[in-house]
Amino acid sequence: MMAGHDIVVIGASAGGVEVLSDLVSLLPADFPAAIFVVLHVPAHSPSLLPRILERKGPLPASHAVDGEAIRPGRILIAPPDQHLLLERGQIRLIKGPRENGHRPAIDPLFRSAALAYGPSVVGVVLSGTLDDGSSGLLAIQQRGGTTMVQDPDEALHAGMPRNAIEAVAVDRVLPVAGIADELVRLARDPINDPEGQPLSDKMEQENQLTAFDLDAIEDEDRPGRPSGFSCPDCGGTLWELTEGELIRFRCRVGHAWSANGLVAEQTEGIETALWTALRALEERAALCTRVASRMEERGRNISAARFREQAAESKQQAALLRRVLVIDPTTSDEPGPEPMPGPEIDVPRSGQGASDG
């Protein structure tokens, strides 16, 4: 590899296929850097991204293979359900703990690239929701690399670009065409300090946790402090980490969450719990009504009245829950977290959770 900025790491989520297609179409066939891409995809869905990007631009594109050598002029994409990490001279694919609810996630790629290649790295955050990639951009910047973010006004989903800009003093905020021009220029621009800033123990430990390194998992001297919150993935204690403007959380086994990601995941858990409670209340109302009818048939009117009262109480509580569940969050004065990308799930409307007993 030449002595330019020859490691390009790109992260995208919702709207990412379109913007990645536009970006690679603007790169030349003799582009002298290696490109690595993480796009949030469901764990068990086939990814057609390599075929799409190869068709859109002049560079060969494929899913990364564990252990393969890093070579310039190629686009390597994280396969579904595996983190893509970089080591010096080679690629690692790891089925380690999810970060921000994703595997592959953007932060692990960016962090590992920063550790392995320092100032040679250019990190790019494109369209997406929430804030995966912000912590990774900070790691790249701390090691002397270059950081770029798609202009939020151009992005199909502006959450990831906006959060990155707020969390990191990024070097450039550009439309896709400007990002392509800068990547070409930087790939040919010599680096003054190939070693860059020294590694931080925290960055290296986080990279080891992502790689599911047993020594790092068992090390009690972990970064951060206990937060009192539990990990949505495993229920373990979360340690709170502060990096500049970023607040992040990581559990003992390595699951990692940004503040926005943790709130979004908890919000989803609360909604699930509310639907479960609604279903339980409607089933209780139906059961009490049926038992009351049976009691009345046997002339046990006092017992029947008691069950009728319990049924009415459950129906009233269920009605309150329905009102909570149908509130449109967009009418609130305070904006909530942006929805996470992924397949749409049909949520039952009021009454569908009831059972006839």
Q: Report, as residue numbers or ranges, the catalytic residues.
A: 13, 40, 132
Cβ–Cβ < 8 Å for 185, 8: no
Cβ–Cβ < 8 Å for 124, 8: yes
Judged on CB neighbours under 10 Å (0-12, 13-18, 19+), 228 is exposed
Would you give the distance in Å from CA 92 to the centre of its chain?
20
Cβ–Cβ < 8 Å for 114, 14: no
Cβ–Cβ < 8 Å for 188, 32: yes
Question: Rounded to whole angstroms, how far apart are CA atoms 86 and 205?
Answer: 15
Task: Give 5's DSSP letter.
Answer: S
Q: DSSP string covering 310-336, please? A: HHHHHHHHHHHHHHHHT--GGGSSS--
Question: Rounded to whole angstroms, how far apart are CA atoms 54 and 58?
Answer: 7
Q: Which residue has the tokens 């990645």?
A: 20
Question: Rounded to whole angstroms, how far apart are CA atoms 14 and 175?
Answer: 17
Task: Give 191's DSSP letter.
Answer: P
Length of the chain: 357
Of 16, 8, 40, the closest CA to residue 126 belongs to 16
Cβ–Cβ < 8 Å for 148, 182: yes
Of 334, 339, 291, the closest CA to residue 311 belongs to 291
- Pairing between β-strand 121-125 and β-strand 146-150 as defined by DSSP bridges: parallel
Task: Give the phi and the psi of residue 219 in degrees, each rounded to 5.
Answer: -70, 120
